[in-house]
Chain A
Amino acid sequence: MPNSVPERPSILRLENISLVFDDDAKVLDDVSLDMRAGDTKIILGAAGAGKSVMLKVALGLLKATAGRIHLFGQDVTGYSESQWYEVRSHIGVLFQEGGLFDSLTIEENVAYPLVNRSSKTPEEVHPHVEQALRFVELGQTLDKFPSELSGGMRRRVGIARAGISDPALLLYDSPTAGLDPITANNIMSLIIQERETRNATSAIVSHRFQDGHIMANFRYNSESKRLERIPDDSPLRLRTRFIVMREGRIVFEGSEPELDASPDPYIAKFSMQRSAH
């Protein structure tokens, strides 16, 4: 095959994942997903559609009732909690409200992945932490506690913590939920910057179609330090895929034009073009 492009390595693969809770509620129903290096997946859906649960299954925080999970090319389905710790060290995650530890300062929160996983002292990682916080424009908050920051600032600290250990996979759970549109756009801009600078594979869960639109159409220009439209022929466009979930199932997977063209009224709710009308 002379024209074949070398296949990008698999980062995350979910195979026919189902999850049933104790009260017989089916939270995930035969969900399959394949993410390769450099992919961006935008996971949309109404509240309770199973988006966040899917991320937690991918992180091993919830055990799937059926199906298999592959991370970084290895089957991690039957891994014990201690085996998962090693796998999770390659994944950065931003939780819905930031998931910051209330009892630790911002500096300790951001340093946590580095201090916890390596034998480095807080003093050794200090310059790294400062740099990560400057990246999210919160360089002066080192000694503050999470309760002293606004919702948007806490999310930004969460982004700094998610990216500090240079993970190969970044998962964002509703990064803009409950934020005003301006703050939400700033957060999305940071997520795009993180995607470009780290060249990481990212999955972002959201219920806001605008988030997906920004993620799919813009990239960060490190020279002008601004977001710019992605050219139509860029491979980045091809690697960005939308997923729509409904009641634990994936009901759509495709590009933004395909999402816009979908005749299904539920899927159309998450289309930028049609929601604007």
Chain B
Amino acid sequence: MLDILKSPIVTFQEFILLAGRATANIVRRPFYGSDVILQMDTIGVGSLPITILIGFFSGAVMALQMSRALSQYGASGQVGQITAITLVRELGPVLTALLVAGRNASGIASELGSMKVTEQIDAMRALGTDPIKKLVTPRLIATCFTLPLLTIVADFIGIIGGYLVAVPLLALTTSSQYWNNAWRSLEFNDITQGLLKPLVFAYIIALVGCLYGIRTTGGTQGVGRATTQAVVVASVWIFVCTFLITRIFVNI
């Protein structure tokens, strides 16, 4: 029984240690600024087109689904409010994070995993560079910076998607009512959890990707295994954390 628990507990402990060291390195010299910019480009700019696409369709689908339910109660005018709240609180952060997890947790794990199996990480340590400082911290900073921004873009594009379905397509409400409802329904609580979630997810995506990459053993086969594990573990933790954060904010 204890043996079954040993591996996940050890992994969790390694995750916490990596998180601590990577976070502490943010304020320690030397700073690898060019690596941070490069990672922001890969993670942020690289994920932008797909984020826009997913954001648009999630908002459009939300408005479509709500159109029938709301019209039953004669409340189809509230479609702007529902689309905005669900996107900002939940769909925007979670869908964007899952997308970035699929795209970047896997990318980070396979890149670092390949470096591990070809002894580049050992070479880095032998040449006097801390791999956590050089490889993990820039990816963590870049993900923490870009994921909230990507989420904001996804939220906004999603609300536009909802608008196109609700107003020009189905004529559920007027343009000014949609935007008015959407704008006024968002409270401080919604915005806070909508921005806190991507920050927590960014930690999960960057560090799970890095952890599974750095722990890779067993050649190219091991790299493939690490990549898959990183995406699965990051996705599961995104759902667990969104539940926990929502639970806290529901009570506030």
Contacts and interface: CB of A to CB of B under 8 A. Distances in A.
A102 B124 CA distance: 12
A228 to B, nearest CB: 32
B128 A100 contact: no
B44 to A, nearest CB: 19
Interface string B103-118: 0000000000011001
Contacts of A113: 127-128
Contacts of A84: 125
B189 interface: no
B69 to A, nearest CB: 51
B186 to A, nearest CB: 42
Interface stretch (A4-12, A29-37, A88-96, A125-133): A88-96
A59 interface: yes
20 contacts: A61-B122, A61-B125, A81-B125, A81-B130, A82-B130, A85-B130, A88-B125, A88-B127, A93-B123, A93-B126, A95-B119, A96-B119, A99-B118, A99-B122, A100-B120, A101-B123, A101-B124, A102-B114, A112-B127, A116-B129
Contacts of B129: 116
Contacts of A100: 120, 123
Nearest to B38: A103
A99 B119 contact: yes
Contacts of B115: 102
A88 B126 contact: yes
A81 B17 CA distance: 15
A253 interface: no
Contacts of A99: 118-120, 122-123, 126
A92 B120 CA distance: 15
Interface of B: 114-115, 118-120, 122-130
B126 A61 contact: yes
Interface residues of A, number: 22
Contacts of B119: 95-97, 99
A85 B122 CA distance: 12
A226 interface: no
A228 B123 CA distance: 33
Contact of A116 (B114, B118, B128): B128
Contacts of A61: 122, 125-126
A274 interface: no
Contacts, number: 49
A59 B128 contact: no
B168 to A, nearest CB: 47
Contacts of B130: 81-82, 85
A91 B114 CA distance: 25
Contacts of A117: 127-128
Contacts of B123: 93, 95, 99-101
A93 B123 CA distance: 8
Nearest to B132: A81
A91 B120 contact: no
A100 B114 CA distance: 12
Nearest to B127: A113
B217 to A, nearest CB: 10
A102 B126 contact: no
A91 B126 contact: yes
Contacts of A56: 122
Contact of A89 (B114, B122, B124, B128): B128
A113 B128 CA distance: 8
Contacts of A101: 120, 123-124
Contacts of A93: 123, 126
Contacts of A59: 126
Nearest to B10: A22
A81 B131 CA distance: 11
B118 A97 contact: yes
A85 B124 CA distance: 10
Interface in A141-161: none
